[in-house]
Amino acid sequence: MTTVVDDQLWSAIGDPIRRQVLDILVADGSATSTSLSERLPVTRQAVAKHLAVLDRAGLVHAQSAGREKHYRLDDAQFARAVVQLTAVGKTWDARLHRIKKLAESIESLSQSQSS
């Protein structure tokens, strides 16, 4: 079973700070780089760079409100990421199950030969 994975999407999600940004946006609906920086262990400028990566991956979109930009999660792209993660997880579960069965067969064979 082959799972098609969007490398740009997974690269964006791969960073722990960006995952925290996504968590906040899921919980709060929207946020500015300033409000995010108050909740994260990085500067506002660093948050802005992380938001730019998430925006390029299509995970967030900005809407200007006065002098600030409010970032919102793109529900469709986020759902796409969840579908991909689920598919990758199922693929690895199947692989690990096959490895376990192989290891059990080898152990059983080894025990029967030493008896």
| Residue at token pair 């690990």 | 96
Q: Domain spans of the chain? A: 7-114
Element (H, E) at 46: helix 44-56
Determine the CATH number of domain 7-114: 1.10.10.10
What CA–CA distances, in Å, run from 88 to 15, 17, 77, 85, 94? 18, 22, 16, 5, 10
- pLDDT tens string, the chain, 115 residues long: the values are 455 567 888 899 999 999 999 999 999 999 999 999 999 999 999 999 999 999 999 999 999 989 999 999 999 999 988 888 888 889 888 999 999 999 999 988 888 887 6
Long-range contacts of 63-70 (CB under 8 A, 24+ apart): 63/30, 68/32, 68/34, 69/32, 69/33, 70/30, 70/31, 70/32
